[in-house]
Amino acid sequence: MSKIPILQADQSYIFRSYFEMSYGADEILAEFGYTFASDRIPLPKTEETLSWVPELRDRIESFLPHIRLTSETARRETLVAPLLLAVTVHCNCQLRIEYPLNVNNWLKGYLDYLVRSTHNLLVVEAKNDDLTKGFTQLAVELIALSEAEEQNELYGAVTIGNVWQFGHLDAKSKKIIQIASLYRIPEDIEELAQILVGIINQ
């Protein structure tokens, strides 16, 4: 007996739809012909000295006691955007916010953040409180971007603001890896910044 498909051919799905589904990432990604795994693979990391990181850490630490991070918007504006803006200035690349992407009826919607450099792309999906479902949405966004840009390798990150997790897409092997390591803000902001710059400039 064949497995009943999760996605229906006559239905339309936006990226947010995959966050709201109760299926696991492996089940949803299988609908696109991808396998899913969790692993501790090494991430690209710059060896540059990022002189702006201590000031950014101090600034975030100074305003955190005065802000309630109870919404996705609050987390994006206070924890995610400041770091991504600093990284894009450092790398002299472009940051697209709420970037529209429409590949087909199963792969469409808005990317919270898209960092675009000469050779590389990085997707960042900001969520309120669920990294697990957030990663599923991120993985589908990576598939969409890979098809739209004809890229065989992509990195992405999902974040709830103070915690970040990365993912890696390999289009040739049809595999998405959820990288098991977690990075916290402000505690791990230096290593996190080194990874973001490493991915963009690799």
Q: Which domains does the chain have, with CATH numbers?
A: 15-201 (3.90.1570)
Q: For the chain, which ranges sit under pLDDT 70?
A: 1-2
Output the pLDDT for position 2: 47
Do 101 and 144 touch, CB atoms closer than 8 A? Answer: yes
- Give tens-digit pLDDT for 133-158: 999 999 999 999 999 999 999 999 99
Do 192 and 180 touch, CB atoms closer than 8 A? Answer: no
Q: Which residues are CB-neighbours of 164 under 8 A, at least 6 positions away?
A: 157, 158, 182, 183, 184, 185, 192
Output the pLDDT for position 166: 97
Output the pLDDT for position 89: 97
Tokens (6 digits) for 68? 């309630």
Instruction: Round to whole Å and give the CA distance between 14 and 98.
Output: 13
pTM score over 0.85: yes
Instruction: Round to whole Å and give the CA distance between 133 and 7.
Output: 17
Instruction: Round to whole Å and give the CA distance between 83 and 192.
Output: 9
